[in-house]
Structure 1
Amino acid sequence: MNIADYKRFDVINGRGLRHSIFTSGCTHHCKGCFNAATWNFNYGKPYTEELEEQIIGDLNMPDVQITGLSILGGEPFQNVDGLLRLASRVRNECSGKDIWVWSGYTFEEIIADDNKRKLLSCCDVLIDGKFILEQRNLKLKWRGSNNQRVIDVKESLRTKQAVLMPL
Protein backbone atom coordinates (compact mmCIF):
# COMPACT_ATOMS: atom_id res chain seq x y z
CA MET A 1 0.00 0.00 0.00
CA ASN A 2 1.17 3.50 -0.79
CA ILE A 3 0.35 6.67 1.09
CA ALA A 4 -0.29 9.92 -0.75
CA ASP A 5 0.08 12.04 2.38
CA TYR A 6 -0.03 12.14 6.16
CA LYS A 7 -1.17 15.40 7.76
CA ARG A 8 -0.76 16.14 11.44
CA PHE A 9 -3.05 18.63 13.20
CA ASP A 10 -5.85 18.60 10.61
CA VAL A 11 -9.05 20.52 11.44
CA ILE A 12 -10.80 20.05 8.09
CA ASN A 13 -11.35 16.29 7.81
CA GLY A 14 -13.61 15.47 10.72
CA ARG A 15 -14.58 16.83 14.11
CA GLY A 16 -11.88 18.27 16.35
CA LEU A 17 -8.11 18.31 15.99
CA ARG A 18 -7.06 15.17 14.11
CA HIS A 19 -4.32 13.50 12.14
CA SER A 20 -5.20 12.39 8.60
CA ILE A 21 -3.77 9.73 6.33
CA PHE A 22 -4.46 9.71 2.59
CA THR A 23 -4.14 6.34 0.88
CA SER A 24 -3.15 5.91 -2.76
CA GLY A 25 -5.29 3.99 -5.21
CA CYS A 26 -8.89 4.38 -6.30
CA THR A 27 -10.82 2.82 -9.14
CA HIS A 28 -13.96 4.96 -8.69
CA HIS A 29 -12.45 7.85 -10.73
CA CYS A 30 -15.21 10.30 -9.77
CA LYS A 31 -15.53 13.20 -12.20
CA GLY A 32 -14.33 16.34 -10.41
CA CYS A 33 -12.50 14.45 -7.63
CA PHE A 34 -10.51 16.86 -5.43
CA ASN A 35 -7.71 14.32 -5.05
CA ALA A 36 -7.41 12.67 -8.49
CA ALA A 37 -3.63 12.23 -8.14
CA THR A 38 -4.37 9.52 -5.55
CA TRP A 39 -6.18 7.31 -8.07
CA ASN A 40 -2.83 5.72 -8.96
CA PHE A 41 -2.00 2.90 -6.52
CA ASN A 42 1.73 3.70 -6.97
CA TYR A 43 1.37 7.39 -6.14
CA GLY A 44 3.18 8.70 -3.07
CA LYS A 45 5.40 6.56 -0.90
CA PRO A 46 5.15 3.09 0.61
CA TYR A 47 3.35 2.74 3.92
CA THR A 48 5.92 1.64 6.51
CA GLU A 49 6.04 0.38 10.07
CA GLU A 50 7.87 3.61 10.94
CA LEU A 51 4.96 5.70 9.66
CA GLU A 52 2.52 3.52 11.57
CA GLU A 53 4.53 4.03 14.78
CA GLN A 54 4.59 7.78 14.12
CA ILE A 55 0.80 7.87 13.68
CA ILE A 56 0.21 5.94 16.92
CA GLY A 57 2.68 8.20 18.74
CA ASP A 58 1.12 11.34 17.26
CA LEU A 59 -2.35 10.23 18.38
CA ASN A 60 -1.03 9.69 21.91
CA MET A 61 0.87 12.99 22.16
CA PRO A 62 0.88 14.27 25.74
CA ASP A 63 -0.46 17.77 26.33
CA VAL A 64 -2.23 17.92 22.94
CA GLN A 65 -5.95 17.14 22.68
CA ILE A 66 -6.08 15.03 19.50
CA THR A 67 -9.61 13.81 18.74
CA GLY A 68 -8.72 11.01 16.35
CA LEU A 69 -7.57 9.73 12.98
CA SER A 70 -9.13 10.43 9.58
CA ILE A 71 -8.56 7.97 6.74
CA LEU A 72 -9.10 9.31 3.24
CA GLY A 73 -7.86 8.56 -0.22
CA GLY A 74 -7.77 7.44 -2.86
CA GLU A 75 -10.11 4.78 -1.64
CA PRO A 76 -9.37 3.35 1.82
CA PHE A 77 -11.55 0.30 1.23
CA GLN A 78 -9.34 -0.67 -1.72
CA ASN A 79 -6.46 -0.77 0.79
CA VAL A 80 -8.10 -2.81 3.57
CA ASP A 81 -5.15 -5.14 4.13
CA GLY A 82 -2.81 -2.23 4.76
CA LEU A 83 -5.21 -0.21 6.91
CA LEU A 84 -6.76 -2.91 9.09
CA ARG A 85 -3.69 -3.24 11.28
CA LEU A 86 -3.43 0.54 11.76
CA ALA A 87 -7.13 0.89 12.59
CA SER A 88 -6.94 -2.03 15.03
CA ARG A 89 -3.92 -0.49 16.74
CA VAL A 90 -5.66 2.87 17.06
CA ARG A 91 -8.61 1.08 18.68
CA ASN A 92 -6.37 -0.79 21.13
CA GLU A 93 -3.57 1.71 21.82
CA CYS A 94 -5.11 5.17 21.49
CA SER A 95 -7.70 5.51 24.21
CA GLY A 96 -10.57 7.84 23.43
CA LYS A 97 -9.53 8.50 19.81
CA ASP A 98 -12.12 8.07 17.08
CA ILE A 99 -11.60 6.98 13.48
CA TRP A 100 -13.34 8.64 10.55
CA VAL A 101 -13.14 7.12 7.06
CA TRP A 102 -14.18 8.47 3.64
CA SER A 103 -15.24 6.08 0.89
CA GLY A 104 -16.78 6.09 -2.57
CA TYR A 105 -18.50 2.87 -1.58
CA THR A 106 -21.84 3.08 0.20
CA PHE A 107 -22.38 1.65 3.66
CA GLU A 108 -24.50 -1.09 2.09
CA GLU A 109 -21.72 -2.06 -0.34
CA ILE A 110 -19.13 -2.14 2.44
CA ILE A 111 -21.08 -4.37 4.81
CA ALA A 112 -21.81 -6.80 1.97
CA ASP A 113 -18.05 -7.53 1.71
CA ASP A 114 -16.49 -9.39 4.67
CA ASN A 115 -13.04 -7.84 4.19
CA LYS A 116 -14.33 -4.26 3.91
CA ARG A 117 -16.66 -4.79 6.88
CA LYS A 118 -13.65 -5.71 9.06
CA LEU A 119 -12.08 -2.30 8.47
CA LEU A 120 -15.42 -0.52 8.89
CA SER A 121 -15.96 -2.20 12.26
CA CYS A 122 -12.86 -0.40 13.57
CA CYS A 123 -14.26 2.99 12.55
CA ASP A 124 -16.67 5.40 14.22
CA VAL A 125 -17.81 7.59 11.32
CA LEU A 126 -18.14 6.78 7.61
CA ILE A 127 -18.63 9.39 4.92
CA ASP A 128 -19.95 7.23 2.10
CA GLY A 129 -20.80 7.48 -1.57
CA LYS A 130 -19.01 8.56 -4.70
CA PHE A 131 -18.51 12.26 -5.31
CA ILE A 132 -21.02 13.33 -7.96
CA LEU A 133 -19.98 16.58 -9.60
CA GLU A 134 -23.55 17.43 -10.63
CA GLN A 135 -24.57 17.22 -6.94
CA ARG A 136 -21.60 19.19 -5.60
CA ASN A 137 -22.52 21.30 -2.59
CA LEU A 138 -19.81 23.40 -0.98
CA LYS A 139 -22.01 24.12 2.06
CA LEU A 140 -21.98 20.51 3.30
CA LYS A 141 -19.89 19.50 6.30
CA TRP A 142 -17.19 16.89 5.61
CA ARG A 143 -18.51 15.86 2.18
CA GLY A 144 -18.64 17.25 -1.30
CA SER A 145 -21.92 16.18 -2.91
CA ASN A 146 -25.53 15.85 -1.77
CA ASN A 147 -25.63 12.06 -2.17
CA GLN A 148 -22.88 11.48 0.39
CA ARG A 149 -23.83 10.63 3.96
CA VAL A 150 -22.14 11.05 7.35
CA ILE A 151 -22.88 7.75 9.09
CA ASP A 152 -22.63 6.64 12.72
CA VAL A 153 -20.83 3.35 12.13
CA LYS A 154 -21.41 1.63 15.49
CA GLU A 155 -25.17 2.29 15.45
CA SER A 156 -25.40 1.35 11.76
CA LEU A 157 -23.62 -1.96 12.29
CA ARG A 158 -25.88 -2.69 15.26
CA THR A 159 -29.08 -2.01 13.28
CA LYS A 160 -27.69 -3.25 9.93
CA GLN A 161 -28.85 -0.06 8.21
CA ALA A 162 -27.23 3.33 7.69
CA VAL A 163 -27.86 5.65 10.65
CA LEU A 164 -26.93 9.25 9.95
CA MET A 165 -24.77 11.05 12.48
CA PRO A 166 -26.23 14.28 13.86
CA LEU A 167 -24.23 17.21 12.52
Structure 2
Amino acid sequence: MEVGMAQSVTNTPASQVNRVKFLVGGLIILAVVIWLIISSTQASAQYFLTVEELNAKGSEVAGRSLRVSGAVIGDTIQYDPQTLTLTFQVAHVPGDNKEIEAQGGLAEVLHTAVVDSNRPRLNVVYNGVKPDLLRNEAQAIMTGQLGEDGVFHADELLLKCPTKYEEAVPEQVEGSS
Protein backbone atom coordinates (compact mmCIF):
# COMPACT_ATOMS: atom_id res chain seq x y z
CA MET A 1 0.00 0.00 0.00
CA GLU A 2 1.33 3.43 -0.89
CA VAL A 3 1.87 6.05 1.78
CA GLY A 4 -0.18 8.84 0.17
CA MET A 5 -3.20 6.76 -0.65
CA ALA A 6 -6.32 7.21 1.47
CA GLN A 7 -7.64 4.15 3.14
CA SER A 8 -11.22 3.39 2.39
CA VAL A 9 -13.49 2.75 5.32
CA THR A 10 -15.36 -0.45 4.91
CA ASN A 11 -18.21 -1.83 6.92
CA THR A 12 -16.71 -4.78 8.61
CA PRO A 13 -18.94 -7.39 10.16
CA ALA A 14 -17.77 -6.26 13.63
CA SER A 15 -18.94 -2.64 13.09
CA GLN A 16 -22.32 -3.84 11.80
CA VAL A 17 -22.77 -5.98 14.92
CA ASN A 18 -21.92 -2.99 17.12
CA ARG A 19 -24.42 -0.80 15.25
CA VAL A 20 -27.17 -3.42 15.70
CA LYS A 21 -26.34 -3.75 19.41
CA PHE A 22 -26.53 0.03 19.79
CA LEU A 23 -29.93 0.23 18.03
CA VAL A 24 -31.38 -2.69 20.02
CA GLY A 25 -30.10 -1.18 23.28
CA GLY A 26 -31.62 2.19 22.39
CA LEU A 27 -34.97 0.60 21.54
CA ILE A 28 -34.98 -1.31 24.83
CA ILE A 29 -34.27 1.86 26.80
CA LEU A 30 -37.02 3.71 24.91
CA ALA A 31 -39.50 0.88 25.57
CA VAL A 32 -38.67 0.89 29.30
CA VAL A 33 -39.15 4.67 29.53
CA ILE A 34 -42.52 4.46 27.75
CA TRP A 35 -43.60 1.58 29.99
CA LEU A 36 -42.62 3.55 33.14
CA ILE A 37 -44.60 6.59 31.99
CA ILE A 38 -47.70 4.54 31.20
CA SER A 39 -47.59 2.46 34.38
CA SER A 40 -47.04 5.47 36.67
CA THR A 41 -49.86 7.38 34.98
CA GLN A 42 -52.27 4.49 35.45
CA ALA A 43 -51.22 3.97 39.06
CA SER A 44 -51.79 7.60 39.96
CA ALA A 45 -55.06 7.91 38.06
CA GLN A 46 -57.98 7.90 40.45
CA TYR A 47 -61.70 8.00 40.05
CA PHE A 48 -63.26 11.36 40.88
CA LEU A 49 -66.83 10.77 41.87
CA THR A 50 -69.68 12.76 43.33
CA VAL A 51 -71.55 11.34 46.32
CA GLU A 52 -74.45 10.42 44.03
CA GLU A 53 -72.15 8.55 41.62
CA LEU A 54 -70.43 6.74 44.48
CA ASN A 55 -73.76 5.65 45.98
CA ALA A 56 -74.89 4.39 42.56
CA LYS A 57 -71.70 2.35 42.00
CA GLY A 58 -71.61 1.03 45.57
CA SER A 59 -69.89 -2.34 45.91
CA GLU A 60 -68.55 -2.10 42.34
CA VAL A 61 -65.89 0.36 43.54
CA ALA A 62 -65.51 -0.87 47.13
CA GLY A 63 -61.88 -1.17 48.15
CA ARG A 64 -60.55 0.88 45.23
CA SER A 65 -58.68 4.12 45.70
CA LEU A 66 -61.23 6.85 45.00
CA ARG A 67 -61.53 10.60 45.16
CA VAL A 68 -64.92 11.96 46.24
CA SER A 69 -66.20 15.49 46.71
CA GLY A 70 -69.13 16.69 48.80
CA ALA A 71 -70.46 19.40 51.12
CA VAL A 72 -69.71 18.92 54.83
CA ILE A 73 -72.81 18.72 57.02
CA GLY A 74 -71.69 20.55 60.16
CA ASP A 75 -74.13 18.92 62.60
CA THR A 76 -72.60 15.49 61.87
CA ILE A 77 -68.98 16.37 62.70
CA GLN A 78 -67.66 14.28 65.60
CA TYR A 79 -64.01 14.23 66.64
CA ASP A 80 -62.24 12.14 69.26
CA PRO A 81 -58.91 13.84 70.07
CA GLN A 82 -57.69 10.75 71.97
CA THR A 83 -57.91 8.41 68.96
CA LEU A 84 -57.74 11.17 66.30
CA THR A 85 -60.90 9.73 64.75
CA LEU A 86 -63.03 12.17 62.80
CA THR A 87 -66.47 11.24 61.47
CA PHE A 88 -68.88 13.36 59.47
CA GLN A 89 -71.27 13.28 56.54
CA VAL A 90 -71.02 14.95 53.17
CA ALA A 91 -73.90 15.76 50.85
CA HIS A 92 -73.91 15.49 47.06
CA VAL A 93 -72.75 18.50 45.05
CA PRO A 94 -72.60 18.49 41.25
CA GLY A 95 -69.24 17.68 39.69
CA ASP A 96 -69.71 19.91 36.65
CA ASN A 97 -68.46 23.51 37.00
CA LYS A 98 -71.01 24.79 34.49
CA GLU A 99 -73.82 23.31 36.57
CA ILE A 100 -72.35 24.83 39.74
CA GLU A 101 -72.20 28.27 38.12
CA ALA A 102 -75.76 27.89 36.78
CA GLN A 103 -76.96 27.19 40.34
CA GLY A 104 -75.42 30.40 41.70
CA GLY A 105 -71.81 29.48 42.40
CA LEU A 106 -70.02 27.13 44.75
CA ALA A 107 -71.11 28.78 48.02
CA GLU A 108 -74.79 28.57 47.03
CA VAL A 109 -74.45 24.96 45.83
CA LEU A 110 -72.75 23.91 49.08
CA HIS A 111 -75.44 25.64 51.18
CA THR A 112 -78.27 24.05 49.20
CA ALA A 113 -76.66 20.61 49.44
CA VAL A 114 -76.37 20.82 53.23
CA VAL A 115 -79.93 22.04 53.90
CA ASP A 116 -81.60 19.65 51.41
CA SER A 117 -82.24 16.45 53.37
CA ASN A 118 -83.18 14.64 50.14
CA ARG A 119 -79.66 14.93 48.71
CA PRO A 120 -77.58 11.74 48.70
CA ARG A 121 -75.22 11.63 51.68
CA LEU A 122 -72.09 9.73 52.55
CA ASN A 123 -70.66 8.82 55.96
CA VAL A 124 -66.93 9.52 56.20
CA VAL A 125 -64.28 8.35 58.68
CA TYR A 126 -60.87 10.02 58.75
CA ASN A 127 -58.01 9.25 61.14
CA GLY A 128 -55.83 12.26 61.77
CA VAL A 129 -55.78 15.74 63.20
CA LYS A 130 -59.03 17.65 62.71
CA PRO A 131 -58.49 20.27 59.97
CA ASP A 132 -59.21 23.89 60.90
CA LEU A 133 -61.39 24.38 57.81
CA LEU A 134 -63.70 21.49 58.69
CA ARG A 135 -67.02 23.26 59.21
CA ASN A 136 -70.55 23.36 57.93
CA GLU A 137 -70.84 23.92 54.16
CA ALA A 138 -67.13 23.43 53.46
CA GLN A 139 -66.30 21.48 50.32
CA ALA A 140 -64.53 18.24 51.24
CA ILE A 141 -62.34 16.49 48.69
CA MET A 142 -61.45 13.08 50.07
CA THR A 143 -59.17 10.33 48.84
CA GLY A 144 -59.70 6.86 50.26
CA GLN A 145 -61.73 3.68 49.91
CA LEU A 146 -65.40 2.83 50.23
CA GLY A 147 -65.89 0.08 52.79
CA GLU A 148 -68.29 -2.83 52.36
CA ASP A 149 -70.46 -1.13 55.01
CA GLY A 150 -70.92 1.93 52.77
CA VAL A 151 -68.67 4.16 54.91
CA PHE A 152 -65.94 6.09 53.10
CA HIS A 153 -62.56 5.70 54.84
CA ALA A 154 -60.56 8.78 53.89
CA ASP A 155 -56.77 8.67 53.81
CA GLU A 156 -56.51 12.28 52.67
CA LEU A 157 -58.89 15.14 53.42
CA LEU A 158 -58.76 18.50 51.66
CA LEU A 159 -61.22 21.26 52.51
CA LYS A 160 -62.31 24.40 50.73
CA CYS A 161 -64.40 27.03 52.43
CA PRO A 162 -65.80 29.32 49.70
CA THR A 163 -66.82 32.10 52.09
CA LYS A 164 -63.19 32.42 53.20
CA TYR A 165 -62.07 33.11 49.63
CA GLU A 166 -64.84 35.47 48.55
CA GLU A 167 -63.54 38.81 47.44
CA ALA A 168 -64.15 41.43 50.07
CA VAL A 169 -62.81 44.96 50.20
CA PRO A 170 -61.42 45.87 53.62
CA GLU A 171 -63.30 48.74 55.31
CA GLN A 172 -60.25 51.01 55.64
CA VAL A 173 -59.62 50.80 51.88
CA GLU A 174 -63.23 51.72 51.04
CA GLY A 175 -63.17 54.89 53.16
CA SER A 176 -59.68 56.09 52.22
CA SER A 177 -60.49 57.59 48.81
Superposition TM-score tier, normalisation by shorter sequence: under 0.3
Question: Hey, which of these two has a bigger chunk of strand by percent?
Answer: 2
What TM-score comes out, normalization by structure 1 length? 0.24
Q: Scaled by the length of structure 2, what TM-score is found?
A: 0.23
